[in-house]
Amino acid sequence: MTSTDGRPLWVGTSWKMNKTLAEAAAFIDELLEFSVPPGIQPFVLPAHTALASVRDRLPLDSGILLGAQNAHWGPEGAGTGEISMRMAQDAGATLIEMGHSERREQFAETDLTVAAKAAAAVAHGLIPLICIGEPLEVRETGTEEQFLQAQLRAALSRLSPADLGQVIIAYEPIWAIGEHGRPATSEEVAPVMAMINDVVAELSAGGSARAVLYGGGVSPDNAADLLSDPYTDGLFVGRAGWAASGFVDLLRLCAPFAAAPRSGTMGPLSGSPETAGRTRRSTS
C-alpha cells in the first residue's frame, strides 16, 4: 500500500493492554471491510496474546503490518514474562515498539535498554519503532529539544549509519498522551519533527529514517493539522484507534496527505538504507 513514488504515509495504532481474542478478531474483520487508500501503510500493535491470532486472520495480501508492543533484546532463555525478538517475529510481528513513556515509567526502561532493543530488532530483520517524548516540566522550561535529542541519540547509538534507514521514530510528548493529556498543536510539534530528521541525517551521513511519526493525543480533530507538517511521515494513534471505526475514520482522513508528493525510493518493506535519503514531502 505505497504511493506511486514509493514512500508511504504510516498510520498505526497500539491497542496497549486491551482486547480479548474475540475483540481483536472483531476489530480486524471490520478493518478488512475498508479499502485502505493508496499511499497509506497501516499497522496495528496488538497485545502479545492476540498477535498470532491477528496474523492468522489477515489475508496475506492485506497490506496491514503487525507489531509487538515490546520485546527483549536478548536471546531466548531466562527472562520471565518477556518474549524475544525471534518469538515476536514468529508470532507475526514486523515492527517492535520500544521506549514508550509507560514502559520507561512503569517498567524502568532506559535509553540503554532502548538502544539494545533497537539493535536486536535490526539484527532480526525487524523494524524498531522507537518512541521518544518529554514530560510537561521539560516542555515548560523550553528544553524539550535538548531532552529529546539526548533520548534519540542514545536510542540510535548501537546502530550503524546504514541501519538508520530501517528505523521508525515516533515523537510522543508525555503531556499529550492518555485520557487526561493535552493535545499538541502543529506549532509545538513541528520543531521537534525537524530536529529528529536533522539528527538522523547527521548520524546516517545524509540519509533518513524509514519514517518519523507523531503520536500523543491524535484524534480526527487534530490529525490534519499534525500532518500538515512536511517533516511528519504519519501518525501513531492510541485510544482514537482502539475501535475499528475510529481507526478507519483516521485512515480515510489521512488519504489526501498520502496522495501528496512523497519523494524517495523506500517503501514499507523494500529498498535499502543506502537509498533512504529524500527531500521532504510537499503539503501543497
At residue 60, the 3 state secondary structure works out as coil
Decide if 8 contacts 267 (C-beta within 8 A): yes
Residue 83, domain member (yes or no): yes
Q: Is residue 1 part of a domain?
A: no
Boundaries of domain holding 91:
9-275
Per annotation, catalytic residue among 72, 97, 100, 144 = 100
Catalytic pick among 109, 134, 144, 172: 172
> Is position 23 annotated as part of the catalytic site?
no
For 91-110, the pLDDT digits (tens) are 999 999 999 988 888 898 99
Residue 4 lies in a domain: no
User: Within a domain: residue 2?
Assistant: no
Q: What is the DSSP letter of 240?
A: G
Residues 106-120: tens digit of each pLDDT: 898 999 999 999 999
| Cα(227)–Cα(236) distance, integer angstroms | 12
Specify the pLDDT at position 4: 38
Number of domains into which the chain is organized: 1
pLDDT, tens digit, for every residue of 130-142?
A: 999 999 999 999 9
Give the containing element (helix H, strand E) for 237: strand 234-237
| Spatial contact of 161 and 206, defined as CB atoms under 8 Å apart | no
Q: What is the CATH number of the domain that holds 145?
A: 3.20.20.70
Beta bridge partners of 236: 12, 215
Show the low-confidence residues of the chain (pLDDT under 70). Answer: 1-6, 261-284
82 is known as an active-site residue: no
User: Under a CB-based contact definition with an 8 Å cutoff, are residues 68 and 14 in contact?
Assistant: no
- pLDDT given at position 144: 97
